[in-house]
């Protein structure tokens, strides 16, 4: 197994913790699959494979969610990432992953104060006019405090939990090894590219750990909405911001969707829902750079029915090509264009094998189910979930950069309904989509696309003689190579090596039996128990060799 060849001694204690938690929540099969049981047992760890009766009565999605929560920030983040993979998991699992909490008990203030002292070289009392040591929020990666600068500006101070990087790095190493093993040993999951998912998790966590990166995200959104007076993005104070500390302007307003509080503050919930939707749709369809978690806790309502947004640790980015694909899909969905939906989904599948007949049938069923609905009654969230269900049932994988987008749009629509029961996401989306499509066919846009196409064509034509010359030169020299990527070839070689070892031992054992039998017929020489000593020793060695071969074959069948 992979774990027998990977040097992970430094993570052995954490491995034991993970295995123990998984087993307690009924994940013993996962531990066995990943080969962790053998490693831990050889290290002297005793694993008990029982699940408590209370936990065993829970549904599997609930148990896995509870296990992820207990395992800490890396696994909570991993679960939150899985909550976006509606193409992988059915609704019951997605619902549980969405419950993974962010609020955790705060770190002792003495440790936080030490982290601030290390970041600034002086205590917070010298940096700020006021600093409240009681956190206003405590998440798995960072805590947030209120403070006031020397000039009287109210700010919030986001501090990374001290020492969290070491634990996260250990967890990431373990998860990456898990991903390699799953991709090698579980063919049905290979299409979801677990190694790539582990890499995305590492990049995502590193972005969240780097509060300078979050600060740059905030400034980018501030530039994008600089001319929009209905949107407020906090200002960053760079003199106090480091990788472990982020100081930003405090946005004071009403958080949440309570109608009573909004009405009391003379705010219009219906207008706020409309402006919130327009803000996120601008991010997605115009800027290609969007807040990936627009839930009520990250949106603040300000006087004048303005929208304030905070917590930019999780953001999504769409290339121009992907943004055009999204526009094409939304346009096709709104207009019930089966061919348009099919074209986009086939683009997303890449080189995956697709049963196009079944996919076309599923799309027809989808469009038919919405045939009697008026445009205003179409729920974008439900429609996107139906699309991801089609992908999942056809064993197709959604591109990773789209999972955050779908999640954001579904969250946004639910948020809008909480503010305004008559909120219709499609009413806000349709004008954006139509404007983007109309802009594609303006003379300026057509001219730019033509110019870019000619540049690409010219580059290909200009490079053709050089490429042909190189190909012919390599062919004449006998150095032309064809690379074949044969999956699991290493695993096959390992299996072949083990089989040949067992075959060799079998031949040696048979030789010992034959040779010892011949020696037993020869009189003379040393004896033991009345039998020739060397013949008896040969039989004993052959006996133990036979036991080794039997055990090796039995053990290989267990993996």
Concatenated DSSP letters for 332-398?
A: HHHTT-HHHHHHHHHHHHTT----HHHHHHHHHHHHHHTTTS-GGG--HHHHHHHHHHHHHHTT---
Q: Which two tokens mark 207?
A: 């972005």
Range of the domain at 319: 255-440
Q: What's the CA gap between 99 and 95, in Å, rounded? A: 7
pLDDT at residue 1, as a whole number:
43
pLDDT at residue 249, as a whole number:
93
CA dihedral 343, 347, 353, 357 (to 10 degrees): -10
Q: What's the CA gap between 355 and 128, in Å, rounded? A: 63
- The two counts, helices (H) then strands (E), for the chain are 24, 13
Indicate if 401 and 304 belong to the same structural domain. Answer: yes
Q: What's the CA gap between 232 and 226, in Å, rounded? A: 9
In contact, 403 and 84? CB cutoff 8 Å: yes
Q: What's the CA gap between 527 and 522, in Å, rounded? A: 11
pLDDT at residue 420, as a whole number:
87
pTM of the model: 0.67
Indicate if 244 and 265 belong to the same structural domain. Answer: no
Any domain includes 360: yes
20-34, 35-49, 333-347: which is most confident? 333-347
If one counts the domains in the chain, the total is: 3
Once rounded to an integer, what is the mean pLDDT over residues 159-168? 87
Once rounded to an integer, what is the mean pLDDT over residues 313-342? 82
Q: Are strands 306-309 and 231-232 parallel, antiparallel or unpaired?
A: parallel
pLDDT at residue 215, as a whole number:
92
Once rounded to an integer, what is the mean pLDDT over residues 480-490? 57
In contact, 232 and 203? CB cutoff 8 Å: no
When pLDDT is cut at 50, 70 and 90, the band that residue 79 belongs to is: confident
300: β partners: 255, 308
Indicate if 291 and 193 belong to the same structural domain. Answer: no
Q: What's the CA gap between 281 and 287, in Å, rounded? A: 9
In contact, 121 and 441? CB cutoff 8 Å: no
pLDDT at residue 236, as a whole number:
94
pLDDT at residue 5, as a whole number:
41
When pLDDT is cut at 50, 70 and 90, the band that residue 308 belongs to is: very high
Any domain includes 461: no
Any domain includes 475: no
Question: CB pairs under 8 A, 24+ apart, for 183-189?
Answer: 184/2, 184/488, 184/491, 185/33, 186/33
What's the pLDDT tens digit per position in 171-183?
Answer: 888 888 888 877 7
142: β partners: 160
In contact, 176 and 211? CB cutoff 8 Å: no
Q: What's the CA gap between 179 and 34, in Å, rounded? A: 9
Indicate if 193 and 295 belong to the same structural domain. Answer: no
Any domain includes 21: no
Indicate if 214 and 342 belong to the same structural domain. Answer: no
* pLDDT surpasses 70 at 40: no
Q: How many residues in the chain? A: 559
Any domain includes 427: yes
Indicate if 161 and 300 belong to the same structural domain. Answer: no
160: β partners: 142
pLDDT at residue 345, as a whole number:
85
Q: Any idea which residue has 């994988």 for tokens?
A: 397
Indicate if 243 and 376 belong to the same structural domain. Answer: no
In contact, 417 and 404? CB cutoff 8 Å: no
Any domain includes 448: no
Indicate if 436 and 402 belong to the same structural domain. Answer: yes
φ, ψ for residue 525 (rounded to 5)? 85, 175
Domain limit, last residue, from 204, 230, 250 = 250
- Angle at Cα 488 formed by Cα 483 and Cα 489, nearest 5°? 55
φ, ψ for residue 230 (rounded to 5)? -90, -5
Q: Are strands 245-249 and 154-160 parallel, antiparallel or unpaired?
A: antiparallel
Q: What's the CA gap between 549 and 405, in Å, rounded? A: 54
In contact, 176 and 127? CB cutoff 8 Å: no
When pLDDT is cut at 50, 70 and 90, the band that residue 372 belongs to is: low
pLDDT at residue 7, as a whole number:
45
Mean pLDDT, rounded, of the chain: 78
Any domain includes 237: yes
Q: What's the CA gap between 384 and 413, in Å, rounded? A: 11
Domain limit, last residue, from 217, 250, 283 = 250
440-472 per-residue burial string, b: 16 or more CB within 10 A, e: under 16 = eeeeeeeeeeeeeeeeeeeeeeeeeeeeeeeee
Q: Which two tokens mark 461?
A: 């034509």
Once rounded to an integer, what is the mean pLDDT over residues 107-123? 87
* pLDDT surpasses 90 at 195: no
pLDDT at residue 245, as a whole number:
92
Domain limit, last residue, from 214, 229, 250 = 250
Q: What's the CA gap between 66 and 57, in Å, rounded? A: 13
Indicate if 219 and 346 belong to the same structural domain. Answer: no
Handedness of CA 52, 57, 58, 64 (dihedral sign): positive
Indicate if 118 and 259 belong to the same structural domain. Answer: no
Any domain includes 522: yes
pLDDT at residue 159, as a whole number:
92
Q: What's the CA gap between 172 and 181, in Å, rounded? A: 14
Rounded to whole angstroms, what are the CA distances from 413 to 225, 280, 304, 427, 434? 21, 11, 22, 11, 20
Indicate if 189 and 289 belong to the same structural domain. Answer: no
Indicate if 228 and 280 belong to the same structural domain. Answer: no
Q: What's the CA gap between 463 and 206, in Å, rounded? A: 40
φ, ψ for residue 105 (rounded to 5)? -55, 140
Concatenated DSSP letters for 3-30?
A: GGTS--GGGHHHHHHHHHHHHHTT-HHH
In contact, 82 and 89? CB cutoff 8 Å: yes
Q: Is 350 left (phi over 0), alpha (psi -120 to 50) or beta?
A: left
Share of the chain above pLDDT 90, in %: 13
Q: Any idea which residue has 């929540």 for tokens?
A: 25
Taking residue 155's Cβ as centre, other Cβ atoms within 10 Å add up to 22
CA nearest neighbour of 156 among 314, 307, 300: 300
């Amino acid at each position: 197994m992979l774990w027998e060849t990977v040097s992970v001694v430094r993570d052995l204690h954490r491995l034991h913790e993970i295995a123990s938690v998984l087993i307690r929540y009924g994940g013993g099969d996962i531990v066995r699959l990943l080969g962790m049981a053998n490693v831990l047992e050889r290290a002297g760890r005793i694993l008990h494979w029982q699940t408590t009766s209370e936990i065993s009565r829970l549904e599997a999605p609930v148990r896995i969610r509870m296990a992820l929560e207990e395992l800490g920030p890396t696994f909570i983040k991993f679960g939150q990432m899985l909550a976006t993979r509606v193409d992988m998991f059915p609704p019951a699992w997605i619902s549980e992953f969405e419950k993974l909490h962010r609020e955790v008990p705060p770190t002792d203030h003495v440790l936080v104060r030490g982290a601030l002292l290390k970041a600034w070289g002086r205590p917070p009392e010298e940096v700020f006019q006021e600093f409240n040591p009681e956190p206003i929020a405590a998440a798995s990666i960072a805590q947030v405090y209120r403070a006031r600068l020397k000039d009287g500006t109210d700010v919030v101070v986001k501090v990374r939990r001290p020492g969290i990087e070491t634990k996260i790095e250990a967890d990431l190493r373990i998860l990456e090894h898990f991903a390699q093993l799953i991709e090698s040993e579980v063919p049905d999951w290979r299409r979801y590219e677990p190694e790539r998912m582990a890499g995305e998790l590492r990049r995502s966590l590193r972005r969240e750990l780097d509060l300078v990166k979050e600060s740059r995200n905030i400034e980018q959104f501030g530039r994008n909405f600089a001319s929009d007076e209905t949107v407020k993005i906090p200002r960053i104070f760079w003199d106090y911001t480091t990788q472990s500390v982020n100081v930003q302007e405090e946005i004071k307003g009403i958080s949440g969707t309570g109608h009573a509080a909004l009405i009391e503050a003379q705010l219009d919930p219906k207008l706020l829902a409309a402006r919130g939707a327009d803000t996120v749709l601008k991010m997605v369809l115009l800027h290609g750079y969007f807040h990936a978690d627009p839930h009520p806790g990250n949106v603040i309502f300000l006087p004048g029915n303005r929208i304030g947004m905070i917590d930019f640790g999780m953001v999504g980015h769409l290339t121009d090509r992907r943004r055009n694909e999204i526009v094409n899909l939304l346009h096709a969905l709104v207009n019930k264009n089966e061919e348009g939906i099919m074209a986009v989904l086939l683009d997303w599948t890449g080189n995956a094998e697709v049963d196009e007949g079944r996919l076309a049938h599923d799309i027809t069923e989808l469009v038919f189910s919405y045939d009697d609905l008026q445009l205003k009654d179409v729920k974008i969230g439900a429609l996107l979930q139906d699309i991801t269900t089609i992908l999942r049932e056809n064993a197709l994988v959604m591109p990773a950069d789209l999972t955050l987008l779908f999640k954001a749009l579904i969250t946004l629509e639910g948020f809008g309904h909480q503010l305004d029961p008559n909120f219709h996401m499609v009413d806000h989306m349709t004008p954006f989509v139509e404007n983007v499509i109309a802009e594609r066919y303006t003379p300026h846009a057509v001219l730019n696309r033509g110019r870019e196409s000619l540049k690409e064509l010219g580059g290909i034509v200009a490079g053709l003689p050089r490429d042909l010359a190189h190909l012919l030169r390599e062919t004449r020299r006998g150095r032309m190579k064809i690379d074949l990527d044969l999956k699991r070839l290493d695993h096959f070689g390992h299996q072949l090596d083990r089989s040949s070892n067992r075959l060799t031992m079998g031949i040696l054992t048979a030789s010992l039996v034959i040779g010892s039998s011949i020696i037993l017929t020869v009189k003379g020489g040393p004896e033991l128990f009345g039998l020739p000593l060397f013949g008896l020793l040969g039989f004993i060695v052959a006996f133990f060799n036979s036991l080794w071969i039997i055990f090796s074959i039995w053990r290989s069948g267990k993996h």
